[in-house]
A and B are shown apart, each in its own frame.
Chain A
Amino acid sequence: MSVLTADLPVSRSLPGWAGTAALLAVAYVAVPIFGTSYLFEAILLPFLALSLAGLGLNILTGYAGQVSLGSAAFMAVGAFAAFNFNLRVESLPLIASIALAGFAAAAIGLVFGLPSLRLKGFYLAVSTLAAQFFVQWALTKFSWFSNDSASGVIDAPPLSIAGVAFEGPVGRYLFSLTVVTVLTFLAYRLVISQTGRNFIAVRDNETAARIIGVPVLKTKLLAFAISSFIIGVAGVLWAFAYLRTVEPAGFNLDRSFQILFIVIIGGLASIRGAFFGAALIVVFPLVLSRLGSFLLGDIFDSGVLDMSQRIVLGTLIILFLILEPDGLVALWDRVRKRIGTGLRRS
């Protein structure tokens, strides 16, 4: 009913749900059995955290049309808030810490979303940079946030819920997978609801939306809050499940851009887009480094890798914007449709 499925009669019917169920079955059963620890540590864990962050940003930018360049700040707020709730509130279950961290990120998101009530476009995009720099500064400056640890780097607590410990790469993977699945389902419910429709209305024509009675200001703030909540939880997964440490440096401007790129490459205003984009962003550097050292040998050191990554990433962004503005999702659907008609014909 939204952009997500309107042009996609295929995924509307049962096969859509069957596909999702099959995917979940593979993710929950086959992957843990056959996956190597490299697969979990280097690919799936960052993939899940970044997908969730991309999903959060997509709600704000893709659906509600408010560009944010400060996503990493909200990830940082989530990670540090979860760390501190877990540390300072005794016997608080981990899941509660994570939820509270989400709310903390939502609250900060709400504050930095306030300019959106008066500013638009570039002005708003630039103002979200304030969030990026301010949050990073505050977390570095006030060592209370990192429990006065000398290096500013702190270990994440072990993951356990209701006595069940999620240990090792597989455990952390299953933990992340569950959090991501639940939040994705809720986000899906949101974007097909009246509120989701309001997001798109505000994005496509703010004046018309206001005139038909969409509460524009409330809708924008809600988009900021919900998006920041999801990104905050993504930050928790990033720190607790993937990196196992919490440090401000990892949540820098480059990370914010990375999340924005995930959304652009994957597909704006699409739930699946965040996953497609994150997959590409996580996998392509690994491929590039293999390919580089295979073709060029020793010249392809980490410095060169880093630079060529930037070049390839930047080029990808430009190419997608020019050739496939609806992202990998649109590409995927086209390919699938073509294969579908090909099969039917033969």
Chain B
Amino acid sequence: MQAMNYAFGGLGSVPFPPDVQEHLAGLDARTDDGGARHAEARDSALSLSSISLSFGGVVALTDIDISVRKGEIRAIIGPNGAGKSSLINVISGVYRPDRGHVRIGKNRYQQVPTQKLARLGIARTFQNLALFKGLSVLDNVVAGRAYTVRSTFLGQIAGLGRARREEADARDRAGRILDFLHLGHVSGRLAGTLPYGLQKRVELARALVAEPDILLLDEPMAGMTATEKNEMAGFVRAARDQYGTTVVLIEHDIGVVMGLSDRIAVLDYGRKIADGTPEEIRADQRVIDAYLGVASENEDGEGI
């Protein structure tokens, strides 16, 4: 129910978790000129402006505007090939849009610098598993701290203080995340040998261990059983509630999406056809025509 409260909280009084609210209050104190536009800019963690993207002749995205507020769970839905993954790939700099730009915090980018993404506070998971198959589960998650490593390889070979501290810290955090996601019992296994559902969860762990401000999740529950999905939805919500993480979520399961998200954007053939709260989306005729009508037959997510 908490998710709904967020959604109906309205602009300017979004009930962020306490620490985030504190942070925002600090910002408010410093920039007191107010104004709706400034408030919007201040609250927005991420925004896309008139993004267009095509591959050869295939148009993947047309003139997309989407903004994501700090601390919200922002879902993106749409039929297969609608351009959802492309959107996340644009945000993470994997694809370069033909037009438009991405704003992350205060920075504006034509193409987001992927190698700096983690330092910009963004972590993501992938639609098709992108774990490091040859590493153990624990090492996969420890690798999620790669962006914090300052020690050189010589220091690491020699086992110097900084290298040791970094490694110990990373293992410590990874261990905690694994426990949080109930993955402790498989931490020693090679990631590639786990069942699909667990691999998806390890990916979430690898993203979370970086303690991102913004988390991009591309179909984190695809191919899962109903129980696994519920568990995963719980983790996503908990991540937001406990760490104040902003979440951009792509998911086909409408039930999950409606229950979990604060706002939903709907894509179809690369265009945004609707954007609003779950209630608004549920009532939107174009969405029903383009997507929900079909999707309701596929509540359990298979086949979409």
Contact = CB atoms under 8 A, between A and B. Distances in A.
Whether A and B touch directly in their complex, counting CB atoms under 8 A apart, is answered as yes
A261 to B, nearest CB: 21
7 contacts: A198-B143, A204-B131, A208-B126, A211-B124, A212-B118, A212-B146, A212-B147
A213 B130 CA distance: 14
A160 interface: no
A6 interface: yes
B282 interface: no
A183 B163 CA distance: 20
**Which 3 pairs show the lowest CB-CB distances between chains A and B?**
A213-B147, A213-B118, A193-B156
Contacts of B210: 212-213
A204 B192 CA distance: 10
Contacts of A208: 126, 130-132
B190 A194 contact: no
Contacts of B132: 200-201, 204-205, 208-209
Interface in A89-103: none
B143 A214 contact: yes
Given A213-B119, A213-B210, A6 B144 contact: no
Interface in B115-158: 115, 117-119, 123-124, 126, 130-136, 138-139, 142-144, 146-149, 151, 153, 156-158
Contacts of A209: 132, 143, 146
Given A3-B190, A6-B188, A193-B156, A212 B144 contact: yes
Given A7-B190, A193-B163, A194-B166, 8 more contacts: A1-B138, A194-B146, A195-B156, A197-B142, A204-B131, A205-B130, A212-B144, A213-B210
A194 B149 contact: yes
A328 B261 CA distance: 52
A2 interface: yes
Contact of A210 (B114, B139, B144, B190): B114
- Size bracket, chain A contacts: 20 to 34
B18 interface: no
Interface residues of B, number: 42
Interface SS of chain A: helix
B115 A213 contact: yes
Contact of A186 (B115, B117, B157, B166): B157
Contacts of B159: 189
A213 B94 CA distance: 13
A121 to B, nearest CB: 17
Nearest to B207: A212
B273 to A, nearest CB: 29
Nearest to A222: B153
A147 B94 CA distance: 52
A293 interface: no
A207 interface: yes
Nearest to B216: A211
Contacts of B166: 194
Contacts of A45: none
Contacts of B118: 211-213
A203 interface: yes
A216 B119 CA distance: 15
A215 interface: yes
Contacts of B151: 194
B92 interface: yes
Contacts of A304: none
A246 to B, nearest CB: 30
